[in-house]
Amino acid sequence: MPVNVLIVDDSGFFRHRIEEMLQSDARLRVVGTAVNGKEAVDLVKRLKPDVVTMDVEMPQMNGIEAVRIIMREAPTNVLMLSSLTHEGARVTLQALEAGAADYLPKDIRAWMDKNSGVRSQLIDRLVALGRSRRFRPSRALERSVPGRDRQPGTTMVFRPETARTPRRSVGAPSAAVPTAATPSATAVRERQSALAPVRPAASDPVTTLASRVQFPDCKLVVIGASTGGPAALQKVLMQLPADYPYPILLVQHMPKTFTQVFAERLNQQCRIRVKEAEDGDLLSPGQALLAPGGLQMMLDPRQKDRVRILAGDERLTYKPSVDVTYASAAKLYGNKVLGVILTGMGADGCDGARLLKQAGSTMWAQNRDSCTIYGMPQAVVNEGLADAVLELDDIGPLLAQRGVR
């Protein structure tokens, strides 16, 4: 069955352009359009789409308020469309906190250019979100169970996603230029893994009970995420005390403007310090460095307590890439790394996780039912690289246990 999509935008150009793009793919079906948030809420309740594309700035009711109401009254996956500006990043992060599943930058030049790749990005994300089971009734009911730690106005209930095909291992990248497959091969492989039909995997392990997980002997924590990552990272990092004894590296797939705003927002919300990483930054206990969008974050081979921020190999699909940071940590910290892989499309992080495991380090993966998209964690799990498969709610408290002195 095709994925049913509701398009919400006050711009006639964008409504028409989005519908034109979606009509070219048989996996998607446009079931309606809305010109403001109020109309969107009404149509979501009546049409029950699988996924909604949501503009931010609209008359009568903006996209953020519409998302809040939708999540409260008719939970549905929402893909936000926002400008590549500081203000656009700020309001997009507010929408993600309100419960939106993902976002796509809204650069009119790229949307007008039929060769820009926007069409494939939009279609891939809508298919993945539409095929998800993020709001299954059995899981959605958990939001009302007393004692569950849910933030008001936020949905932290996620859903499983797809299986992937095995990937070959790659060698550790050099200090200056990470190695990778060609973009076409990587893009095809990861697109196939992200959009494969959902099917149960007999090899999927039962989620590890948090009570059975022991914190490893480590000196560095490295966390990677993509779709659904902003809300997941916020939930994890807010559990950590100000005197957390380990430095943390964060890799979230985001463009440059968004990573700067995201780091600032996390720094305001968390007790630990969070900043967008700059070349030469020192690893410090109780501080998380977020990889800047469009660049790669690695550890300096000459001073392993500092990070290098580099352009990296142009052939790499993701900038920043979890694989690159994991591989760098494995090379310089050996068995003293705790790698954590959170929700996200594709398989970024799997090759780096393999290098961490070969070095003797520990890998934790977010479990299927708490993921926004079970792509990146599933890649690690299916390769047998996860030492523990954990509910999102358990990851922060487990990390925090080592922060109590």
E strand or H helix at 46: helix 37-47
Q: How many CB atoms lie within 10 A of CB 204?
A: 16
Question: Regarding beta strands 248-252 and 77-82, do their DSSP bridges make them parallel or antiparallel, or are they unpaired?
Answer: unpaired
Can you tell me the distance from the alpha carbon of 78 to that of 25, in angstroms, rounded to the nearest whole number? 19
Q: Among residues 182, 179, 274, 175, which one has the least CA distance to residue 233?
A: 274
CB atoms inside a 10 Å sphere around CB 404: 9
Under 8 Å between Cβ of 269 and 234: yes
Distances (CA, A) of 332 to 42, 302, 305, 361: 54, 10, 10, 12
| Residue 137, beta-bridge partner list | none
Q: Counting Cβ atoms within 10 Å, is residue 275 exposed (0-12), middle (13-18) or buried (19+)?
A: middle
Distance CA 226, CA 152 (A): 23
As annotated, the active-site residues are 226, 253, 348
Decide the pairing of beta strands 337-341 and 220-225: parallel
Token couple for 279? 């070349």
The CA distance from 367 to 173, in Å, is: 28
Return d(Cα 339, Cα 294) in angstroms, integer.
Answer: 22
Residue position matching structure tokens 């009734």: 137
> Which residue(s) pair with 77 in the sheet?
51
Q: What's the one-letter identity of residue 405? A: R
Measured over the CA atoms of residue 226, residue 156, residue 371 and residue 62, the dihedral's sign is negative
User: What is the C-alpha to C-alpha distance for residues 326 and 337, in angstroms, rounded to an integer?
Assistant: 9
The count of C-alpha atoms lying within 13 angstroms of the C-alpha of 6, restricted to the half-sphere facing its C-beta, is 25
What is the total residue count of the chain?
405
CA-CA-CA-CA dihedral for 182, 187, 188, 191, to nearest 10: 160
